[in-house]
Amino acid sequence: MKEMAENKSPSAGVRGWQIALLVGIFGLIILFYKGLWGNPSFIPPVIVGTAAPEITAPDLYQPREVTLSQFRGKVVVLNFWASWCLECKLEHQNLLAIQKRFGENPNFVMLGVNYQDKEDLARQYLQEHGNNFEHVRDLKGRISIDYGVYGVPETFVIDQNGVIRHKQIGPIVGETYTFLVEGLIEPLLNGTATTS
Amino acid letter, residue 74:
K
Burial (CB < 10 A; 0-12, 13-18, 19+), residue 188, is buried
- Residue 43's pLDDT is what? 54
* CA dist., res. 51 & res. 159, Å (int): 10
In Å, how far are 25, 26, 172 from 14, measured between CA atoms? 16, 18, 66
**Residues 107 and 94: beta-carbon distance below 8 Å:** no
Each residue's pLDDT tens digit, 42-77: 555 668 999 999 999 999 999 999 999 999 999 999
- Residue 6's pLDDT is what? 53
* CA dist., res. 119 & res. 164, Å (int): 28
- Residue 8's pLDDT is what? 60
Handedness of CA 22, 27, 33, 36 (dihedral sign): negative
Q: Dmax over Cα atoms in the chain, in whole Å?
A: 91
Provide the β-strand partners of residue 136: 59, 113
Confidence of residue 27 (pLDDT cuts 50, 70, 90): confident
pLDDT mean over 177-188 = 97
The answer to which of 6-20, 26-40, 67-81 has the lowest mean pLDDT is 26-40
- Provide the H-helix boundaries in 69-118: 86-102
Q: What is the crossing angle of helices 119-129 and 86-102, to 10°?
A: 60
- Residue 16's pLDDT is what? 79
